[in-house]
Amino acid sequence: MLDTAKRFAYNEDHETFRDTVRRVFAEHMTPFLDKHEEEGIVGREAWKALGDAGMLCPTVAEENGGLGLDFGFNCVIAEELSYLGSSAGFTLQNDITVNYFERLGTDEQKKKYLPGMVSGDIITAIAMTEPGAGSDLQGVRTTAVLDGDEWVINGSKTYITNGQNADVVIVVAKTDPSQGAKGTSLILVDADTPGFERGRNLDKIGQHAADTSELFFQDCRVPRDNLLGGEGRGFIHLMEELPQERLSIAVGAQAGAQRAFDEAVAFTKDRKAFGRTVFEFQNTKFVLADLAAKLQVGWAHLDWAILRHLEGKLTTDEASAAKLWHTDLQWECCDKALQLHGGAGYMNEYPIARLWRDARVQRIYGGTNEIMKEVVSRAI
């Protein structure tokens, strides 16, 4: 269990909420972790359970069916989910897609989608990445062309979180390819729209419980009113959400790093070699001490970043630095923790194996860590 005694980003309400999160996860997630991994998806019953407990989109305003809470409550959920060892796509909905609807949506769009997103009846995805466009979102080739009062969408997307579960997808498309980034818009596509098809639930190295999918659009027609935000302002809208998206990744990374460390401590204090516990060897103690120091720094920095974001001051380069540092730390903790497990660490029956597999993508999505360095360098 995460120790929050020394944290300073949260208040008493956050910690009371954390108790609820742990109780809900213990009942509706922990017993099914292996099932989710084997099936490659988290069932809608889990989404409904979280919705019933107020754990989906808690920042949504009360008039739109939410609780009107601050982003700190999202962070509590993200920390506990990552520490649990689940790759469920709840945080995508909580921390990323909901902001697009609430900030950019028309009154009609908010009424149609937000209450269901809060209750767990509507699951969302955002389709940015394409086979030929990843961190460089200006290179998307999916098009949305106006034909009367309808957008006609053609193209394909890949690596889309919640792709199999999604009821509605925010599609990043070129509405004016001649304008480059300025010709990008966001279009809402309901999953039952003719011309929209889900591809494979992709076979990944890790995060097996996450339904990460291909999506295809072939003469997919949606009403003109499905435009989300301003026409031609899609790239700007995406950039505006980057600080929170990258902070969200950093939050999960730090909690995942802590879980890996805790697994290593428990294992090395229990396992014996040459007549003593593995923990008693100097190498083990030094490796763990080094990680403990870095985790201490990480939690302090994360709380600083969370508070700065709650104040509306977290910049894109600061969030990018947080994503870079905390995901690197997560990988270091997972890799060294697995090494301290010895051969057992390579066995899927031990939690560290899953933690190690799931950590690898953290340095890739949300913008690769190489891109994070580029972003940070521009602010120097």
- Six token digits for residue 147: 């034909």
Catalytic residue among 79, 80, 214, 245: 245
Q: Give the percent of the chain with pLDDT over 90.
A: 96
**Prediction pTM value:** 0.96
Whether 143 and 268 share a structural domain: no
Which residue reads 């923990």 in tokens?
279
Whether 301 and 367 share a structural domain: yes
Which pLDDT band holds residue 179 (cuts at 50, 70, 90)? Answer: confident
Is the confidence at residue 136, as pLDDT, over 70? no
By C-alpha distance, which of 325, 317, 133 is closest to 235? 133
pLDDT tens, residue by residue, 328-359: 999 999 999 999 999 999 999 999 999 999 99
Residue 137 lies in a domain: yes
- Six token digits for residue 268: 């090395």
Which residue reads 């609807």 in tokens?
101
Residue range 296-315: mean pLDDT, rounded: 98
Whether 369 and 251 share a structural domain: yes
Which pLDDT band holds residue 134 (cuts at 50, 70, 90)? Answer: low
Domain range enclosing 75: 12-122
Q: Which amino acid is at 22?
A: R
Active site residue 108: no
Are 217 and 195 within 8 A, CB to CB? yes
Whether 283 and 320 share a structural domain: yes
Whether 92 and 78 share a structural domain: yes
Whether 108 and 140 share a structural domain: no
pLDDT at 139: 78
